[in-house]
Amino acid sequence: MSKKNLPWEIKRGYPLPLGVTTLSEGVNFALFSRNASTVTLVLESACQEGSETRYELQLTPSEHKTGDVWHILLETHECDFTYGYRVDSDKPASGSCFTHADILIDPYCHALSPRAWGTRAQYGKAPCCKIISHDFDWQDDRPLKTPLSETIIYELHIRGFTKQLAENQAAAGSYEGLMKQIPYLKQLGVTAVELMPITEFDENDNDFVNPETGEKLKNFWGYNPVSFFALKSGYAIDPENHINEFKTLVRELHHANIEVILDIVYNHSGEGGYDGTTSSFRGIDNSVYYLLDPEDQSYLNFSGCGNTLNCNHPVVRSLIINSLRYWVIEMHVDGFRFDLASILGRDQDGNVLANPPMIEQIAEDPVLRDTKIIAEAWDAAGLYQVGSFSNDTRWGEWNGRFRDDVRAFMAGHGGMVSRLASRFAGSSDLYQASRRGPLSSINFLTSHDGFSLYDLVSYNRKHNLMNGENNRDGDNHNLSWNSGREGTPVSPKVEELRLRRIRSMLTILMFSQGVPMICAGDEFAKTQSGNNNAWCQDNPISWLDWQLMEHNRDLLRFFQLCIALRRNHPVFRRENFFATTDSSTPNVPEEIEWQYLTPGEQNWSADCHGLGVLIHGKRQHLSRDDDFFIMMNGNIEKKLHFIPPDVPPNNNNRSWSKIIDTAAVPPKDIIPRGTPLDSGIRSIRVANLAVVVLQSLPEVL
């Protein structure tokens, strides 16, 4: 296009920063592409009397390219642009996917054209990058910096959590809907929400259909990003105002002392394989952004989603770091959970690096030093790094071992007592050798991926037919047990056992060392009808049924009080592993003691299904607290009788009180001030698959 036909003057521009920058002299555009020979900036402007006009500005390499960066500056400050790029090459290198037809997303753009949930996306077909202002009244908002020792994480999906809010239908499925539920989160007692992906993705990119109705399914979860910067506009009441709506949510959560952690996906993109939609990275520089097989240039698929991002390429590392900084600086988020984070440790050939620069750079970045960083320490190709993801104490890890061992113990599996003890005490077998502590372990029973907690005790097998893949999808290794009958409805006896097991596992989670995470809705027994891979279900299978909150109010009360107990007692929130007496430390008093049924008697055999643990609150080297004796019975049918140890010495005027019995009928399942044990009682009955907790409370005179 001739410069004479343009409404603004054009200048050479600047190569940095990448993306769009508003300067005193105009608007600067900068795009990395090493292997392109032509780059065209495509603009759609509504400057002239509200009409939309498209301009295509081909950048001249001799004038508009510095190194591998293409750049141009427009002398304007007033126009409302939507933009994208055409990128092509007259001599494409091996592995290139250039085509002039695609109009590509700028990897550094901060917003895409807003659209309501479910409406058609134009990614790769039309200019959709927006130039935005970040003006917002943060009201002096500051990072909360909640210590990990005090953190309780609540994982949720924006749309699924809020879609069925009876009292706030106008806010259903939105950021504002979550804001309406802040009082509920406060009452529950969590300190952080972990939001499933909120960067832009195309929820319509799913080809599967409901086998009964033929209706096309959605990509509901959103683990298919088309941008690492742009916020999902479809989660806003008003998509045009989605950024301010999200910022308001963050600000109000902070006012309630609740942190915001983002589940972020850097291991792959929504472009999928070569048969997917070319929307950005593939068309800009495929061989730089992705891992390719050197022989046939096929994608190395360690993500299970068709492609794998080349995370340790310097250009990609810079993109990731800059996007993380953006979410911290502009959006005030408090931390990140990295999906399939083991991919961050692979080199360009897919090999596992000994000291991955990407993982180190995230931990050491000065802007990110106050944020929480949590790894899902595995990938879809079988690499499992729980306990060995990084030696840096900054990194926490989703502890899949904790999930599996607690599930197995409470489903009656043998050989689990010693494993359960390790998990309960903070997983020193995983973290102590690298000089990390129990707070490196993010403990959880369930997450978005897999059975809900109620389904875990209600189904022996997955029921995923509605996903349209003939039940082939989803994990087959769930360590679940249906408590005697598959699915619903069931007899009151079976239902009681299910709720008992839920309470038992929650008690173990809350009293174990590490950082607990619960999945939204588990606190009132949400169900997905046995679907353990509901990624495509934008319907009541995935939407929280808030009527269950009243129907299962006794279970919700148990969650609330269990969370409160953890928050009120530092003995459950240690930063270091327990001190135990051995030959090298003869003068160090034990802070934790294990037993089976009788004090001083331990049983680590494969056929043992019971574990007692005494935590000495008065011997904690960092704080002083009550003593607790916790009895866990993993037998499917057999009850156990534990003899509690004497209340530890130097604990004047105190005696044991029973505060939790997960087999008791609510509200006696949890009594915050406890029921004092009769002085004549020598043994405590612990029902099958139950947990009983004693606390040393002052004697009532």
Residues 661-679: pLDDT tens digits?
999 999 999 998 899 998 7
Separation CA 377–CA 55 (nearest Å): 46
Q: Is residue 561 part of a domain?
A: no
CA-nearest of 516, 571, 432, 606 to 194 is 516
For the cut 70, the answer to whether the pLDDT of residue 347 exceeds it is: yes
Structural tokens at position 400: 């899949």
The distance between the two most distant Cα atoms of the chain, rounded to a whole number of Å, is: 99
Q: What are the b/e assignments for 342-376, b being 16+ CB within 10 Å?
A: bbbbbebebeeeeebbbbbbbbebeebeebbbbbb
For the cut 60, the answer to whether the pLDDT of residue 50 exceeds it is: no
pLDDT of residue 680: 75
Structural tokens at position 261: 């952690």
For the cut 90, the answer to whether the pLDDT of residue 330 exceeds it is: yes
Where residue 585 falls among pLDDT bands split at 50, 70, 90? low
Structural tokens at position 192: 């952080």
pLDDT of residue 537: 98
Q: Is residue 686 part of a domain?
A: yes
For the cut 80, the answer to whether the pLDDT of residue 528 exceeds it is: yes
For the cut 90, the answer to whether the pLDDT of residue 15 exceeds it is: yes
**What is the mean predicted confidence (pLDDT) over 301-326?**
97
User: Whole domain around residue 670: which residue ranges?
Assistant: 592-698
pLDDT of residue 696: 94
| Residue finishing a domain among 84, 113, 130 | 130
pLDDT of residue 144: 97
Q: Is residue 461 part of a domain?
A: no
pLDDT of residue 649: 65
| Residue finishing a domain among 111, 130, 149 | 130
pLDDT of residue 78: 74
Q: Is residue 198 part of a domain?
A: no
Q: Is residue 71 part of a domain?
A: yes
3-state secondary structure of 489: coil
pLDDT of residue 49: 53
Calculate the average pLDDT of the chain. 94
pLDDT of residue 624: 82
CB-count burial class (<10 Å; 0-12, 13-18, 19+) for 675? middle
Separation CA 500–CA 666 (nearest Å): 10
State pLDDT tens for residues 598-609.
999 999 999 999
For the cut 50, the answer to whether the pLDDT of residue 403 exceeds it is: yes
Total domain count, the chain: 2
Q: What percent of the chain has pLDDT over 70?
A: 96
| Residue finishing a domain among 112, 130, 148 | 130
Separation CA 523–CA 454 (nearest Å): 9
Q: Is residue 478 part of a domain?
A: no
Could you tell me where the DSSP H helices lie in 353-491?
357-364, 400-409, 417-424, 428-431, 453-456
pLDDT of residue 548: 97
pLDDT of residue 138: 98
Residues forming the active site: 339, 376
176 and 555 Cβ atoms separated by less than 8 Å: no
Where residue 701 falls among pLDDT bands split at 50, 70, 90? very low
Number of helices (H), then strands (E), in the chain: 15, 25
For residue 94, the domain's CATH number is 2.60.40.10
State pLDDT tens for residues 496-524.
999 999 999 999 999 999 999 999 999 99
Separation CA 201–CA 668 (nearest Å): 47
Where residue 98 falls among pLDDT bands split at 50, 70, 90? very high
pLDDT of residue 33: 98
For the cut 90, the answer to whether the pLDDT of residue 1 exceeds it is: no
Q: Is residue 644 part of a domain?
A: yes
State pLDDT tens for residues 243-300.
999 999 999 999 999 999 999 999 999 999 999 999 999 999 999 999 999 999 999 9
Tell which phi-psi region holds residue 450, choosing left (phi > 0), alpha (psi between -120 and 50) or beta.
left
CA-nearest of 446, 497, 502 to 475 is 446
Instruction: Please give the model's pTM, rounded to 2 decimal places.
Output: 0.96
pLDDT of residue 191: 98
State pLDDT tens for residues 266-275.
999 999 999 9
State pLDDT tens for residues 63-96.
999 999 999 999 998 768 899 999 999 988 888 9
**What is the mean predicted confidence (pLDDT) over 114-130?**
96
Q: Is residue 157 part of a domain?
A: no
Separation CA 544–CA 562 (nearest Å): 22
